[in-house]
Amino acid sequence: MNGWFVALVFVMLCAPAIAQEKVVLGMSGWTGFAPLSLADKAGIFKKNGVDVELKFMPQPARLAALAAGDLNAAATTVDTHVVWATKVPMVQVLLLDKSNGGDGLVVRNTIQSVKELKGKTIAVDGAGTVPHFMLTYILEKNGLSLQDVIRVTLGPQQAAQTFLGGQYDAAMTYEPYMSQVRGRADQGKILVTTKDYPVVIDTLAFKADFAKKNPKVVQAVVNSFFEALTMIKTDQAKAYELMGSAVKQTGPQFGGSAQFIQWQDKAANQDYFAKESLAFSKTAGDILKANRVINTLPDYKAMQDASFIK
């Protein structure tokens, strides 16, 4: 009996702490979010004692699910978090990635500049989404506005597909869908990307009340993301294979998309939250309010918690 008790205590001490609350995390197939899929498929979440269910859904659906209580965490861009903060209290705890050419504007070969888009028809997702925000930013930087173009509301995947099908003058999309255009020079070209306009920054946020009640769970998710980045470095082929499988790509195909984003390690996270987060959030908020996507500005400090980046 004593030996059994000692063995039980040993197992309890050595096993990772089991998270009491399940994390239901909403995301898309965006390449920048892929380390979260890797943490799931490679068993990293499980190893760290946290139960995470990933749900793939478009941005508007993520907000609705958060408001309904069907999600308690979501990955999306900072500008989108600014929009969401006016409706559902969220706290950003982790910088996931920065787009480095992975988001962009594709156009017909006859269009040579952004200014030539005036009066043209552009397939782009709706207000409050990444493509909409980026298009707004690009147009404003070139002396235009949303009122100068004709918009057709389509998600990034559908926008790329319809563009390649011969519809519309331009489309806003992102990886892995943008790579489809790279291989179809007869249909069009990529005019500008986040290499030219670096405004797509992705973070992971939890509902504020969930994060407050379950700090150990949040910490386990953050730690798992960084472990996934380590696996990408030490076993890239396997990591790419697993991440690609989540979006129906082979490992090499996924690698092609991965070159257009920059995953952010712990040091990059610390630097971002210390120097960049609040300023960029304010810039995004000002643009969103000026274009009437939001009516009021959120409390930017309340939108982030860098204490999990240890």
What CATH number did the domain enclosing 110 receive? Answer: 3.40.190.10
Per-residue pLDDT at 220? 98
Q: Which domain holds residue 269?
A: 20-99+200-308
Identify the segments of the chain with pLDDT beneath 50. 1-19
Per-residue pLDDT at 13? 45
194 is written with which tokens? 């986040």
198 is written with which tokens? 């670096």
Chosen domain end from 193, 221, 253: 193
Indicate whether 209 and 302 sit together in one domain. Answer: yes
Per-residue pLDDT at 11? 39
Indicate whether 178 and 125 sit together in one domain. Answer: yes
Count, in order, helices (H) and strands (E) of the chain. Answer: 14, 11
Which letter, b or e, does each residue of 272-290 get, where b requires 16 or more Cβ atoms within 10 Å of its Cβ? bbeeebeebbeebbebbee
Per-residue pLDDT at 201? 95
Is 13 inside any structural domain?
Answer: no
Is 77 inside any structural domain?
Answer: yes
Is 210 inside any structural domain?
Answer: yes
Q: Are 72 and 209 in contact (CB under 8 A)?
A: no
Per-residue pLDDT at 7? 42
The count of structural domains within the chain is 2
Per-residue pLDDT at 20? 62
Is 51 inside any structural domain?
Answer: yes
